[in-house]
Amino acid sequence: MISGTSQRPVRLGLLGCGTVGGGVVKLLTDNAKYLGMRVGAPLEIARVLVRDEKKERVPELDRKLVTTDPELVLGDDTIDVIVETMGGLEPAREWVERAIENKRSVVTANKALLAAHGPDLVERAHAAGIDLAFEGSVGGGIPIIRTLREAFASDWVRSLTGIVNGTCNFVLTRMNEAGATFDEAVKEAQNKGYAEADPELDVGGHDAAHKLVVLAMLAFGARTDSKSVPTEGIRAIEPIDHRLAKRFGYVIKHLAVGRDAGEQIELRVHPALIAQSTPLANVSGVLNAIALEGAALGPCMLSGRGAGDMPTAVSVVADVLDVARALRSGVPGLMTRGIQMQVRKVVPIDELRSRYFLRFNVENKPGVLARIALALGDAGVTVEQMVQEEAPSGVHVVMTTHQAVEKELRKALVAIAAQTFVVRPTQVIRVV
């Protein structure tokens, strides 16, 4: 019964048919024969839910399958797998939960949904004995979820460091390479379709925080949510910071960082200086990358297109294949079996130990540097390297520090900010 494709089709109900959903329809159509052989049964698009029935769709889509009535998908007992590419929290959560309740396997690319309800959905899926697959939710076409779930099965992830937001990486790359301002780079990203009209979700770091929560669930077995992740965006980065970072041998990237710190875990999203020689420093433009450090495996990095219709669609269809094959082989639910999650406290950002890049814009007069150094010294912060250069007003005193506790550093910066010689607020960027 298993070999060949004589089995009855696996019927797919698609929720959403935008850029990613359209790509899924295209790939399912183009590769129907091969996928059918791999699954052991044909994959059949049974119904496609959209918001606007009149909107143009990919030519591969059979318009007769399109509906605006969710009941025709969710209420159809002949549908085996729900493929959710609509995005957003509601009604996606309600519909995915209903699908799980009705014992349908689910494939989703919805990072917001998973960041808010991931562990709960995984547990519901496990209890219902169905599969919940979500490779498309993080890193577009990069097979990071699969790698964490399967390849690392006998290893422990010590840390992960990711460039997981293509918009941020594009903006920072253009600022660094073309000397663009933040606003110019964002406009360019919008013109190229890499940034939304309202870019806040991306450049504010929130999208990266969602993805970090999903990664932390698999890498560290952590039940958490994006509200617990200290999150900073890239709005505060100025062209001069890129230039000075380069002078010190660094590149500025927007990073999602996770680390197993024993009882607690470290999770944080912020711009950071990373050494030019590290592999992540060379991940440019809209590319994403995730560097993992396994206890046994050592360093491992995956990179590729982190967004876009086709890369994400490839990930969704790979999930559909897994889920459909498990279903027709009579063994749904293996994907989440044995995955354990527990609430883990996130290290408060105040307690972080890190190195820092500091740029002070101060008056150019004797004694200023001494007073900065004194304030830092009082807080136990020691300077690693320092340069001073003229600013439009006064001078820039720029330095990197040795490891310091963030709380202590902030105390010193508050003390310095109170001084009359400060021309503009001090720039602080962590060094990873």
Judged by the rule CB under 8 A, the positions of this chain that interact with a second copy are 2-3, 23, 27-28, 30-31, 34-35, 37-40, 135, 141-143, 146-147, 150-155, 277, 279, 282-283, 287, 294, 296-305, 308, 310-311, 313-315, 317-318, 321-322, 325, 329-331, 333-334, 337-340
Copy the structure tokens of residue 3.
């070999």
Which residue, 305 or 396, is less far from a second copy as judged by CB? 305
Copy the structure tokens of residue 308.
């876009």
Q: Taking the complex as a whole, how short is the minimal distance between the CB of residue 202 and a second copy, in angstroms?
A: 20
Which residue, 75 or 279, is less far from a second copy as judged by CB? 279
Q: Taking the complex as a whole, how short is the minimal distance between the CB of residue 188 and a second copy, in angstroms?
A: 20
Q: Taking the complex as a whole, how short is the minimal distance between the CB of residue 29 and a second copy, in angstroms?
A: 10
Q: Taking the complex as a whole, how short is the minimal distance between the CB of residue 328 and a second copy, in angstroms?
A: 10
Q: How far apart are CA 403 and CA 425, in angstroms?
A: 22
Residues 211, 227, 246, 407: which is the catalytic one? 211
Which residue, 133 or 375, is less far from a second copy as judged by CB? 133
Which residue, 85 or 226, is less far from a second copy as judged by CB? 85
Q: Taking the complex as a whole, how short is the minimal distance between the CB of residue 341 and a second copy, in angstroms?
A: 13
Helices 309-328 and 32-39: crossing angle in degrees, nearest 10, is 40
CB 189 within 8 A of CB 167: yes
Residues whose CB falls within 8 Å of the CB of residue 396, separated by 6 or more in sequence, listed in order = 240, 244, 359, 360, 361, 388, 389, 390
Q: How far apart are CA 89 and CA 72, in angstroms?
A: 21
**Strand 287-294 and strand 222-223: pairing?**
unpaired
CB 106 within 8 A of CB 133: yes
Active site residue 211: yes
Which residue, 173 or 226, is less far from a second copy as judged by CB? 173
C-alpha separations of 265 from 50, 104, 359, 400 in Å = 40, 33, 29, 25
Which residue, 142 or 413, is less far from a second copy as judged by CB? 142
Which residue, 236 or 334, is less far from a second copy as judged by CB? 334
Which residue, 229 or 320, is less far from a second copy as judged by CB? 320
Q: Taking the complex as a whole, how short is the minimal distance between the CB of residue 310 and a second copy, in angstroms?
A: 4
N-to-C CA span, the chain = 54
Copy the structure tokens of residue 131.
């599969």
Q: Taking the complex as a whole, how short is the minimal distance between the CB of residue 190 and a second copy, in angstroms?
A: 21
Instruction: Classify residue 107 as left (phi > 0), alpha (psi -120 to 50) or beta.
Output: beta
Q: Taking the complex as a whole, how short is the minimal distance between the CB of residue 20 and a second copy, in angstroms?
A: 12
Q: How far apart are CA 238 and CA 234, in angstroms?
A: 9
Point out the residues that are catalytic: 211
